[in-house]
Structure formats: structure tokens, C-alpha cells
A and B are shown apart, each in its own frame.
Chain A
């Protein structure tokens, strides 16, 4: 059973006991209160009855003739004065029993009052309890209704002092509606106490439950945080590390938590290497952070790679950054696999080149054979073109492998930029002519000699220009513009035809990515061209980007540093 359910069960148990005890207490209060009232009423009635007893009472005849006689008037006076003393009593009276009927002897009422009962009048509404006192017992009747109202009566037998026989009964009527007033008040009071106690128990339960849930939740997240197989730490708004998990601790190689906890991200060189100071600035503005960092062991033999992924943590208003969360993943294994994969591609590509170059040269020799018929030459030429495409593909794969292993190092030399552009123009012109496209080379600035790797530059420009030719519609024109921007040459390859969707724009330079439309225009693309173009431009120290919209068409830009 989980702790919350356990608590709930205990609560229900305690609550039921409290309810049971509380009900008992209220019942007990009621009973005691009723008994006290009855005892008091009986005591008063008995005392009063004593006062009624004596010679005078033995002399009444219980008939209208009693009116005006000394015994009757004396008793009546006593009844009236007793009634005036006790405000809780409405009627006081004496009655007797003759031949099974009840007759009034005297009452406390004025003869002119409508409530007055003359001596000897039968009390026809008397119920069975009115006969009980004749057996010698005092009692309190249950509420009974007669022509005057509803009453609870205290009835006390009056015994003949000589014979000990009960000849009269003294009665005091209390209005029934007032009778239980005290008991009700007492019970209400005790009920309030019980209710208060129950509420108290309920509140305690709610409090305990919340506390328990909070503890459970805290425990849950603590376990996740502590056992997560990635390094996690948080940085507060002042740049101090304010929490970290054991995995991170293990990764840093620190001896105890205090070596890392409470450090400022600006204070350590190792954090600068990761670029945490930059993440701190960007993160507070709501930006994510991703970086891969290589660590080499002191002996220089072991390489480890870490991926740092930083995200800002927002307050519930989702606008204010509360702190920064940094996840640290060990990606050494992935890097090794990736490296092995790239090396395999590189090796396989080199191996593939041998049969491809054999085929290329054998075909070349074959095609120069003078005995060949025109038709045969044509077939061989087709074969030659197919082989050449395979060579291009393998070369592309090799380039990708070189970019990925960082082997694409620019072999820079001083070179004439115009010549390189012209060479690319010539290469693409044939296909452009076939599609009746026009390529305009526009030089907007004075071109000096530049220091760059001509092969990489040509690779990039060929890729971008042949893309423009391939994807722009027939009869359109393509502009290659050379301009300056800051301290770079800016080369723009523009066409008005093909538009690159916004979803494609971000991913277009990734390897093997092909735009949605690109696939329908030209199905044979490898998805490597732009990846290679980007690698080639960057190896030459430039950047590449694109702009594409319906009004202006598509333009690919890349830069090369002037010096």
C-alpha cells in the first residue's frame, strides 16, 4: 500500500472513531440535560406538593361549592403565588380521582381567565400517565396536548398524612416547546465541539496528505535526477552552478560535490572551452545551446567526446528565464562509430575508383578504334557517360567523408578568380544551352587575385551553378554575380524559376537531404552536392546561405575572404 493510501485508511479509521465518540458525547449531553431538567422540575414539584398538604386539603369537597370556602381559597392562593415564583411553569393544579375519572381540585388561574377550571370539573383529556401518581410515584409525563396547549407535566402524589393513601395529585405544567430548550442548547454546544474536532482531524489529514504528496513528488524527481544516465546541472541567473547530479559529478572527475557546486561559469577555463559563458548570455535570452567537445587524456591516448545541450528553464509564465539546464552526454562511442563509418566510406570509395578508372580508360581506347560503326560509337559513349556519373558519385562520397573527418583542408594558392568562374561557366554552359537557359556572369567589382584552394572553390561553384541549371525551368536565365561585402568577395547564383520551400531551406545543406520539389524535378540527385559545397566554402574560410521566395526567386550566396 502506498503511503498516501495508508494515510487515507488511518484517517478514515480515526474519523469514524471520532464520529462515534462524538455522537455518544452528544447523546450523553442530551440525556444528562434532560435528566437535570426533570429532576429539578420534580424537586420543585415535590417541595410545592409538601406545601399543599395538610388539614386544608382534607377539607375540600371537590365541587363548585368549594369556591369561597377558606380551605379552597387558601390552596388557590398558594397555587397562584407558586406560579408567579417559577416563570417556567404555566399551570399548577391539584386533581383527584373518583370512579376512574380525573377531577380538578383547584388551579392557579384567575376565575375570569378562559384557562380557568372550577373545582370538581372533570379533566376529560387526561391520559393514562395522569393515573400513575395514585400508586405513589412522582413522574414527568411525555408531552401531551389538551385544549390549552402541549405540556410536559410534573406530577407528584400527595399522601394523606394519617392513612398514607394517595388522595390528591399535584401537577405542574411546563410548556412542551420550552421543556427541551436547555437540552437542545447543551447538545448543540457539544455538537459544535464534536464538529470542531472532526474538522481539526480533516484539516490535519489534508495537511499530512499534501506534505506526503510533496515528499513523494520530491522523492520521485530526486531519484530521476540522481539516476539519470546523463550529466545534468543547472546554472542560476547569476551564473553559479546550483545543482548537479551524480553522473555529471562522475564525468567531471571531481573528488567531491563542493568542487563543482557553487562555481561560477565564468570562473573556469574548462567552461570557456565548452562555451558556457556564451550559453549563459544566449540562454538568458531564451536560446538553446548545442556543442560537441573533444577531450584528450593527459597521456594523449584516450579521446572522449561530450555533447553539451543547454536549454533555458522558464517560469510558469513561460516568458521569464528562471535558470539554465545543461545536459551532458558522453558521445565518445557514437563518434568512434561515426569515424569508423566515414573511414569505411573513404576506403570503399578509393577502392571503387580503381575499376572505375580502368573502365574509363578502356572505353576511351575502345572509342578511338577506327573500325567502329557510328552506332557502336554512340553506345560506347553512353557507357562512358554512365561510368563518368558513377565516378562523380564516388567522388562526392569521398568528399563527404573528407568533410566529416575534417580532412578537407584548403590547399591555398594565389589564383585568378575570374579564370575559376569562367571554367565553371564553361562546364555548365552545355547543359544550359540544351535547356535554352542563359547564364549571365556579372562582375560588379574589381577582381584581384585571391588566395584560396582553387579545387574547393570550383567544387562549390560547380555544385551551385549546376544546381541552378538543373532546377531552373527551360528558357530562364541564371545570373552569377560577383561583388564585395565587408572584406569578402560575395558570389551570388540567382535564378527566377525554382522556389525552395521554407521547410527545406534549413535542412538543404545537410547531407543526403533533398528538397520536396527537388525530388520531382530531378530524381537522380544524390543529396550531397550542397553538403559538399558548404564544406568546400567553409574550408576556404567563407560562408554559404540562400534566399528563396516567390517574388525574387532563389539565390545562393557564398563568400571568400579577399586575403
Chain B
């Protein structure tokens, strides 16, 4: 299974990448929204783990562009993995772009994140 992790914080990115490689995933990584969007469209991963606050292009914008890009982009599952509490603006984006989950990082362990990813991928 191929996943894309878009995260600007090195320590978090490293932890996630290590974890998912350890769990036998094939992992792509990007440190900003622009890079993430390009990688996604090019490699078509099975799932995207997306942070919201990102340099160059934020996560919500990247998700919107992805949904608008093509039929693959429209349906690829996205898990928002962030430290923000969902305010009205984010909620609106969530409703419009239907990500799979909205996870606040501090509330979840890595094991639980992996579990959520597997659960979503098993649904097809």
C-alpha cells in the first residue's frame, strides 16, 4: 500500500514515516502543500495523510485543488492530521471535500493512526 504524508514538522514527519515503513507501507513524503499536490498527482497514492498548517500552500487548499484536479483526486481518501481545532472555516472545507478523518495529533497514538489508515483502506 502506498501512502503520501504531507507534514512540515521534521520530527513528526520522521516519526510517521518510520512508523508506516515499519508497518510495511510504501511511503511518499512532502513538506509543503505544493510539493504534496505534485507528488500526489504524479504517484497517485492509495491514501494521503495531510497536515493543515503548511508553508507555500496550506492543507485545506491542497485538498480543494486535489478534489478539483481529476477523478482520481476526487476520490482518494484523505486523513487530516493536524493540531488545529476545527473552526467554522475548516468545518466548511471538511464538508465540501469529504476527508476520511479529522484527527488532532495529540489525541492519537501512532498505533491508532495506523489503525485508522488500515480501516479506511480496507473500505475501498
Give A residues with C-beta under 8 Å from B. Answer: 350, 353-358, 360-362, 364-365, 391, 394-395, 398, 402, 407, 409, 411
Is the Cβ of B106 less than 8 Å from the Cβ of A360? yes
Q: A364-B110, A398-B85 are in contact. Are A353 and B105 (CB under 8 A)?
A: yes
Q: A358-B15, A361-B12 are in contact. Are A407 and B87 (CB under 8 A)?
A: yes
Is the Cβ of B84 less than 8 Å from the Cβ of A360? no
Is the Cβ of B111 less than 8 Å from the Cβ of A357? no
Beyond the given A357-B105, A362-B11, could you list 9 further A-B residue pairs with CB under 8 A, ordered by the A residue number? Answer: A350-B83, A350-B85, A354-B83, A356-B106, A357-B12, A358-B11, A360-B106, A364-B110, A395-B106
Q: Which of B48-105 contact A (CB under 8 A)?
A: 83-85, 87-88, 91, 104-105
Instruction: For B110, list chain A residues within 8 Å (CB).
Output: 361, 364-365
Is the Cβ of A353 less than 8 Å from the Cβ of B15? no
Is the Cβ of A354 less than 8 Å from the Cβ of B9? yes
Q: Out of B11, B12, B18, B106, name the residue touching A391 (CB < 8 Å).
A: B106
Question: In the assembled complex, how far is the CB of residue A396 from the closest CB belonging to chain B, in whole angstroms?
Answer: 12
How far is A411 from B87 in the complex, measured between Cα atoms in Å?
A: 11
Any A CB within 8 A of the CB of B122: no
For B19, the closest partner residue in chain A by CB is A365
User: What is the interface of chain B mostly: helix, strand, loop, or mixed?
Assistant: helix
Is the Cβ of A361 less than 8 Å from the Cβ of B16? yes
Question: In the assembled complex, how far is the CB of residue A453 from the closest CB belonging to chain B, in whole angstroms?
Answer: 12
How far is A453 from B57 in the complex, measured between Cα atoms in Å?
A: 32
How far is A563 from B116 in the complex, measured between Cα atoms in Å?
A: 31
Instruction: For B9, list chain A residues within 8 Å (CB).
Output: 354, 358
Instruction: For A407, list chain B residues within 8 Å (CB).
Output: 87
Instruction: For A358, list chain B residues within 8 Å (CB).
Output: 9, 11-12, 15
Question: In the assembled complex, how far is the CB of residue A22 from the closest CB belonging to chain B, in whole angstroms?
Answer: 91
Instruction: For B111, list chain A residues within 8 Å (CB).
Output: 364
Binary flags per residue of B3-20, CB closer than 8 Å to A gives 1, else 0: 000000101100110110
How many inter-chain contacts with C-beta < 8 Å in the A-B complex?
49
For A391, the closest partner residue in chain B by CB is B106
How far is A476 from B21 in the complex, measured between Cα atoms in Å?
A: 48
For A392, the closest partner residue in chain B by CB is B106
How far is A358 from B18 in the complex, measured between Cα atoms in Å?
A: 13
How far is A395 from B105 in the complex, measured between Cα atoms in Å?
A: 12
Q: Out of A350, A361, A362, A411, name the residue touching B84 (CB < 8 Å).
A: A350
How far is A364 from B106 in the complex, measured between Cα atoms in Å?
A: 12
Instruction: For A398, list chain B residues within 8 Å (CB).
Output: 85
> Which of A350, A361, A365, A398 counts the most B-chain CB atoms under 10 A from its CB?
A361
How far is A353 from B85 in the complex, measured between Cα atoms in Å?
A: 11
For A398, the closest partner residue in chain B by CB is B85
How far is A353 from B12 in the complex, measured between Cα atoms in Å?
A: 11
Q: Out of A353, A365, A409, A411, name the residue touching B18 (CB < 8 Å).
A: A365
17 sample A-B contacts, Cβ–Cβ < 8 Å, listed by A number? A350-B83, A353-B104, A354-B9, A356-B106, A357-B106, A358-B12, A360-B105, A360-B106, A362-B15, A364-B15, A364-B110, A365-B15, A365-B110, A391-B106, A395-B106, A407-B87, A409-B88
How far is A25 from B101 in the complex, measured between Cα atoms in Å?
A: 112
How far is A364 from B110 in the complex, measured between Cα atoms in Å?
A: 7
Question: In the assembled complex, how far is the CB of residue B83 from the closest CB belonging to chain A, in whole angstroms?
Answer: 4
How far is A350 from B83 in the complex, measured between Cα atoms in Å?
A: 6
Instruction: For B12, list chain A residues within 8 Å (CB).
Output: 354, 357-358, 361
Interface size class on chain B is: 10 to 19
Binary flags per residue of B27-53, CB closer than 8 Å to A gives 1, else 0: 000000000000000000000000000
How far is A407 from B91 in the complex, measured between Cα atoms in Å?
A: 12
How far is A411 from B88 in the complex, measured between Cα atoms in Å?
A: 11
Instruction: For B85, list chain A residues within 8 Å (CB).
Output: 350, 398, 402
Instruction: For B19, list chain A residues within 8 Å (CB).
Output: 361, 365
Instruction: For B106, list chain A residues within 8 Å (CB).
Output: 353, 356-357, 360, 391, 394-395
Question: In the assembled complex, how far is the CB of residue A56 from the closest CB belonging to chain B, in whole angstroms?
Answer: 144
Question: In the assembled complex, how far is the CB of residue B109 from the closest CB belonging to chain A, in whole angstroms?
Answer: 6
Instruction: For B87, list chain A residues within 8 Å (CB).
Output: 407
Instruction: For A395, list chain B residues within 8 Å (CB).
Output: 106
For A364, the closest partner residue in chain B by CB is B110
How far is A546 from B19 in the complex, measured between Cα atoms in Å?
A: 46
How far is A355 from B19 in the complex, measured between Cα atoms in Å?
A: 18
How far is A402 from B104 in the complex, measured between Cα atoms in Å?
A: 16
For B15, the closest partner residue in chain A by CB is A361
How far is A350 from B91 in the complex, measured between Cα atoms in Å?
A: 17
> Which of A350, A357, A398, A409 counts the most B-chain CB atoms under 10 A from its CB?
A357
Instruction: For B84, list chain A residues within 8 Å (CB).
Output: 350
How far is A361 from B11 in the complex, measured between Cα atoms in Å?
A: 9
Instruction: For A391, list chain B residues within 8 Å (CB).
Output: 106
Instruction: For B88, list chain A residues within 8 Å (CB).
Output: 409
Instruction: For A355, list chain B residues within 8 Å (CB).
Output: 11
How far is A356 from B19 in the complex, measured between Cα atoms in Å?
A: 18
Is the Cβ of B16 less than 8 Å from the Cβ of A353? no
For B83, the closest partner residue in chain A by CB is A353
How far is A365 from B20 in the complex, measured between Cα atoms in Å?
A: 11
Is the Cβ of A357 less than 8 Å from the Cβ of B83? yes
Q: Out of A350, A353, A360, A409, name the residue touching B109 (CB < 8 Å).
A: A360
Question: In the assembled complex, how far is the CB of residue B25 from the closest CB belonging to chain A, in whole angstroms?
Answer: 15
How far is A353 from B106 in the complex, measured between Cα atoms in Å?
A: 7
How far is A164 from B109 in the complex, measured between Cα atoms in Å?
A: 154
Question: In the assembled complex, how far is the CB of residue A369 from the closest CB belonging to chain B, in whole angstroms?
Answer: 11
Instruction: For A353, list chain B residues within 8 Å (CB).
Output: 83, 104-106
Question: In the assembled complex, how far is the CB of residue A532 from the closest CB belonging to chain B, in whole angstroms?
Answer: 13
How far is A43 from B16 in the complex, measured between Cα atoms in Å?
A: 143
Question: In the assembled complex, how far is the CB of residue B90 from the closest CB belonging to chain A, in whole angstroms?
Answer: 12
Question: In the assembled complex, how far is the CB of residue A386 from the closest CB belonging to chain B, in whole angstroms?
Answer: 14
How far is A269 from B23 in the complex, measured between Cα atoms in Å?
A: 65
Instruction: For B15, list chain A residues within 8 Å (CB).
Output: 358, 361-362, 364-365
How far is A358 from B51 in the complex, measured between Cα atoms in Å?
A: 13
Instruction: For A409, list chain B residues within 8 Å (CB).
Output: 88
Instruction: For B91, list chain A residues within 8 Å (CB).
Output: 411
How far is A398 from B87 in the complex, measured between Cα atoms in Å?
A: 12
How far is A354 from B105 in the complex, measured between Cα atoms in Å?
A: 8
Question: In the assembled complex, how far is the CB of residue B4 from the closest CB belonging to chain A, in whole angstroms?
Answer: 18
